[in-house]
Amino acid sequence: MKPELSLQLLDTHAGGDVSRIVTGGIDPLPGRTVREQMAYLRDDADGVRRLLLAEPYGIPEMSVDLLVPATDPRAAAGYIIMEVMGYPIYSGSNTICTATAVLDAGWVPKREGRQRFMLESPAGLVQIEAVVRDGVVEAVTCGGLPSYIHTHRAHIEVPDLGRVTYSVAYSGGFYALVDAAELGFDLTLDEERALARTAHAIVEAIQAEQGFSHYTLGDVGPLPFLHFMGPEERVAEGYVRSRSATYVHPGVICHSTTGTGTSARLALMNHEGRIRPGDRLETVSLRNTGFIGQFSSETRAGGYRVVNNTITGRAYVLARSEIVVNCDDPLVECDGLHHILSSRNST
């Protein structure tokens, strides 16, 4: 009988952003590191990403994380991040979801209280601290990528918007950082579509004007992201809260504030001398979900003030499922996919 092709999934969300964790159904990928395996998926097997982020299986607002065996013996598992714009080497919300998934699926045994382990992302090893109470993962803290300000308070003319002031941070990807109030936004849910249109116009204008290069990674592609910053509210000594919204793709404002967006904000606050090691920033989304970023320390690299930081949030398990991949379905494209799908005979 014709083999049935399937994928095993665990759907989660952190801050409202759904991360679909692929726990089974994909053959081992070539590559000596998770970064090399990510490159293989991107260049030779992009069908997995396209399948799970498009109809009839998914939507562009979701993310997909493929669990793979770690190549570094210090890590409990590896993961490859897939989003509608491609393959980011790191993501805070995806890391929080993946850490929750490996605990829920038993890749890492749950222990009551606080427990630490490492995951291997395409960006390298990530330290995880999870809080488990009554068998439930209530919080995950993960290391954010070292973040820095590349450009501070530059100006650009944007069609239909006029002169826009922005800064550019690197926090796992290059982010334009803009003041929401200067653009007429209060960062409420009813503004979501207008925020997406505005962000797209600004990002396109910046991309047309210049590119950005990381001091060690070099050219990582055109600036893809924009983070709207709301007013900062001092909640307590060393603790600030701010409404925020992150644009990642035409038409897509993340439901969460994103971990990398939060790291970018920490880098800006440090660059402007408004934060000290140990201080925390809580970013609050249009849907009133949040992440907490903590500034750990500053180092100097490539001529930049680089912020070491952590991101804390919570992921919720939504579903455990197995999907059937029917390559005869006219809505399903199996090119770039079939050769890495594990198969089993139908019964």
C-alpha 202/C-alpha 132 separation (Å) is 42
Neighbour-count burial of 15, counting CB atoms closer than 10 A to its CB (0-12 exposed, 13-18 middle, 19+ buried): buried
Nearest to 311 by CA among 265, 263, 269: 263
C-alpha 13/C-alpha 121 separation (Å) is 18
Q: Which amino acid is at 35?
A: R
Q: Which amino acid is at 255?
A: H
Pairing of strands 280-284, 290-301: antiparallel
Given a contact cutoff of 8 angstroms between Cβ atoms, the answer to whether 140 and 100 are in contact is yes
The two counts, helices (H) then strands (E), for the chain are 5, 19
C-alpha 323/C-alpha 186 separation (Å) is 40
Question: Which token pair is 245?
Answer: 């919204």
Given a contact cutoff of 8 angstroms between Cβ atoms, the answer to whether 64 and 282 are in contact is no
Pairing of strands 113-121, 124-133: antiparallel
Residue 224: how many CB atoms within 10 A of its CB?
Answer: 19
Given a contact cutoff of 8 angstroms between Cβ atoms, the answer to whether 146 and 307 are in contact is yes
In the block, tokens 């592609």 appear at: 221
Find the catalytic residue in 63, 91, 242, 263.
91
Distance of CA 18 to the CA centre of its chain: 11
Active site residue 91: yes
- Catalytically annotated residues: 91
